[in-house]
């Protein structure tokens, strides 16, 4: 397993290939449906230009932008203890199905120069194109291992947009040796598209022979 430190350089991203197993150490953010929709509506115009966030949105933007520069976002709706005291700890940190973010992810990656997206189930052509351009990678985390993955979260450094609710908020994490597999790389390779194509071919063959 290759150990990689966040933020991630372009050279490191380009060196990664589908099938590589890596362990991430550094800072990352969580973000799901509400966060991605909010990012696009608040920060990025349809033409890819930067909007002018105000008030609380500007404060959050200034806090998360340096973390996402060369950074990673994790599609995760965590179970968190310490909500009453502010002494936050991730109890479970399993990946969320990523395809729901497909309408937004590519533009978010370009805007923040984000190098990694973690989730499960893979993403589509728009995100794959962004992985090639930015460059970046899609990283698959193991579903059903939420408590195990949470052990890679050394510390919860803060939280933004708590008004979205605990699962949808932006959690700022310090992680160590966070285990993932590259399933979409910056060279237009997608394990998910490959599996889908092979599955369709097998289904067509079975239907033809039936």
Domains of the chain by residue range: 2-209
DSSP sequence for 37-52: HHHHHHHB-TTS-B--
- pLDDT tens digits for range 117-145: 999 999 999 999 999 999 999 999 988 78
- pLDDT tens digits for range 45-92: 766 677 888 899 999 999 999 999 999 999 999 999 999 999 999 999
pTM to 2 decimal places:
0.91
CA atoms within 13 A on the CB side of 173: 31
Of residues 172 and 208, the one with the higher pLDDT is 172
Query: Which pLDDT score is estimated for 112?
Result: 95
- pLDDT tens digits for range 144-168: 788 889 999 999 999 999 999 999 9
> Which residues 6+ apart lie within 8 Å of 173 measured at CB?
27, 28, 29, 30, 74, 90, 153, 155, 156, 157
Q: Which of 40-44, 64-68, 187-191, 200-204 has the lowest mean pLDDT?
A: 200-204
Contact between 121 and 96 under an 8 Å Cβ cutoff? The reply is: no
Question: Per CATH, is 2-209 categorized as 3.20.130.10?
Answer: yes
Average pLDDT (192-208) is 59
Query: Which pLDDT score is estimated for 196?
Result: 61
Q: Which of 36, 140, 160, 192 is catalytic?
A: 36
Provide the mean pLDDT of the chain: 92
Query: Which pLDDT score is estimated for 53?
Result: 84
> pLDDT band at 44, cuts 50/70/90?
confident
Q: Is 36 a catalytic residue?
A: yes
Question: Is the per-residue pLDDT at 199 higher than 70?
Answer: no
Percent share of the chain, pLDDT over 90:
82
């Amino acid at each position: 397993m290759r150990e990689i430190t966040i933020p991630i350089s372009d050279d490191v991203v380009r060196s990664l290939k589908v099938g590589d197993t890596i362990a991430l150490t550094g800072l990352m953010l969580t973000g799901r449906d509400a966060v991605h929709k909010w990012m696009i509506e608040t920060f990025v115009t349809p033409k890819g230009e930067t909007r002018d966030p105000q008030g609380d949105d500007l404060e959050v933007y200034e806090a998360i932008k340096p973390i996402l520069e060369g950074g990673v976002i994790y599609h995760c709706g965590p179970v968190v203890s310490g909500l009453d005291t502010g002494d936050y700890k991730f109890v479970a940190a399993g990946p969320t199905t990523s395809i729901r973010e497909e309408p937004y992810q590519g533009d978010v990656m370009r805007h923040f120069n984000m190098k990694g997206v973690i989730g499960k189930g893979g993403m589509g052509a728009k995100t794959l194109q962004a992985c090639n351009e930015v460059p970046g990678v899609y990283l698959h985390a193991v579903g059903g291992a939420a408590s195990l993955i949470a052990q890679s979260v050394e510390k919860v450094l803060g939280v933004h947009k708590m008004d979205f609710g605990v699962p949808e908020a932006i959690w700022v994490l310090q992680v160590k040796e966070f285990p993932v597999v590259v399933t979409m790389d910056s060279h237009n390779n997608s394990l998910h598209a490959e599996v889908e194509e092979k599955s369709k071919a097998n289904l067509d063959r079975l239907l033809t022979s039936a």
